[in-house]
Amino acid sequence: MRLEPVRNASLARRLGLPLLALAFTVVVASVLARLAGADPFATLGLILKGAAGSKFALLETLNRATPLIFTGLAVAVAFRAKLWNIGAEAQLYAGALLTVLVGTQLGLPGPVAIPAMALAAILAGALVLLGPAVLKLRLGVDEVVTTLLLNFIMLLLISMLLEGPLKDPMGMGWPKSPPIPRDARLPRLIEGLRLHWGFGLALIAAVSVWLIQIRTTLGYEIRAVGLNPQAARFAGIPVNRVIVKTALLSGGLAALAGFSEVAGLKGNLTLDLSPGFGYTGIVVAMLALLHPLGVVASAIFVAGVFVGANSMSRAADVPTYIADISVAVALLSMVLAILLTKFRVVRG
């Protein structure tokens, strides 16, 4: 058996395979639910209902998609340049940390505080990825290792701060930061709906990244460096500078996920701010085949699976790990389905 590229895959193939992947996920989830003693036929309805069945569910999904769009974009931008940023989690927390610091320590009025927090977050995330990028360029240190390990360093740093100087004196002893003031929170996107401006910002970021990639010299340089650094260098493209710019862009995007979670949703910084948004961002970016607009769709899909499966496990009264398994099956089968729209399996 081997894979053979498919040119100009048919619409049936491009739509049918992902649908098949979804159907497979539902079957697996149903069987697991049955084993746990719930009605297997009800689970599909419950997942869909939980993800998009009501206005509340839909908004919950979009809220959950917001940080994933940012981390997905961060990964997609970096991977295009073959800069393997596995550290979106660390950059997210760096962004969240600076958001809280600027929001709580400087006492700025709301309209000034919000852009100040966002800028500080972007800078922090960019700097967190700048280190690994410079080490890669100067000393040839593998950025997969450095960015991955920085995730743990950043989490431990935040843990230390939350137990120490940043601990909320009114927090009943919980390791959490003081909340940022009400007027420094992101407003609702539409009045009366539980969806904050972080989602709007994520959409703007996705379109901007897309425009950068197809319309600007920087996007052209990033693609050239990613595809053939030797030819790029020969042609006079400043390869190192392009990789540094890519790192700053990628780190800044991931940090916006932290900013939007703190300023839009949670209001303060805790150690469970991100249930692995940085890592899931890799899945989101791969599902989108690194296309910035595709990242929006795949982030909403991944968020929907998370939210729907969680809601199902609550409604059907089955253990939550069934939700986790459903999510994993959904992601794996979707990746496979997307692979199979580009390649076909040939015998022999």
**Between 76 and 97, whose beta carbon lies closer to other proteins?**
76
Q: Which of 57, 232, 269, 299 binds other proteins (CB under 8 A)?
A: 232
What does the per-residue mask of binding to other proteins show for 189-218, with x meaning CB under 8 A? --------------------------xxxx
**DSSP per residue over 96-159, as a string?**
HHHHHHHHHHS---HHHHHHHHHHHHHHHHHHHHHHHHHHHHHH---HHHHHHHHHHHHHHHHH
Contact 25/326 with Cβ under 8 angstroms?
yes
Contact 281/95 with Cβ under 8 angstroms?
no
Contact 175/159 with Cβ under 8 angstroms?
yes
Least separation in angstroms between residue 214's CB and other proteins is 8
236 part of the interface to other proteins, by CB under 8 A: yes
220 part of the interface to other proteins, by CB under 8 A: yes
**Between 182 and 347, whose beta carbon lies closer to other proteins?**
347
5 part of the interface to other proteins, by CB under 8 A: no
How far apart, in whole angstroms, are the C-alpha atoms of residue 291 and residue 209?
Answer: 9
Q: What is the total count of residues that contact other proteins (CB under 8 A)?
A: 24
Least separation in angstroms between residue 215's CB and other proteins is 6
Element (H, E) at 346: strand 343-346
Q: Which of 188, 189, 171 is nearest to 179 (CA)?
A: 171
**DSSP per residue over 240-273, as a string?**
HHHHHHHHHHHHHHHHHHHHHIIIIIISS-BTTS
**Between 237 and 271, whose beta carbon lies closer to other proteins?**
237
Q: Which of 276, 258, 274 is nearest to 180 (CA)?
A: 258
231 part of the interface to other proteins, by CB under 8 A: yes
105 part of the interface to other proteins, by CB under 8 A: no
248-267 residues in contact with other proteins (CB under 8 A) are: none
**Between 167 and 223, whose beta carbon lies closer to other proteins?**
223
How far apart, in whole angstroms, are the C-alpha atoms of residue 226 and residue 329?
Answer: 31
How far apart, in whole angstroms, are the C-alpha atoms of residue 243 and residue 232?
Answer: 12
Least separation in angstroms between residue 4's CB and other proteins is 7
Least separation in angstroms between residue 83's CB and other proteins is 17
Which range touches other proteins (CB under 8 A), out of 75-83, 124-132, 224-232, 280-288? Answer: 224-232
**Between 221 and 261, whose beta carbon lies closer to other proteins?**
221
Three-state DSSP state, 30: helix
Q: Which of 233, 270, 276, 297 binds other proteins (CB under 8 A)?
A: 233
Least separation in angstroms between residue 3's CB and other proteins is 13
325 part of the interface to other proteins, by CB under 8 A: no
327-346 residues in contact with other proteins (CB under 8 A) are: 346
Three-state DSSP state, 239: helix
235 part of the interface to other proteins, by CB under 8 A: yes
Query: In the complex, which residues of this chain contact other proteins (CB under 8 A)?
Result: 4, 215-221, 223-224, 227-228, 230-238, 346-348
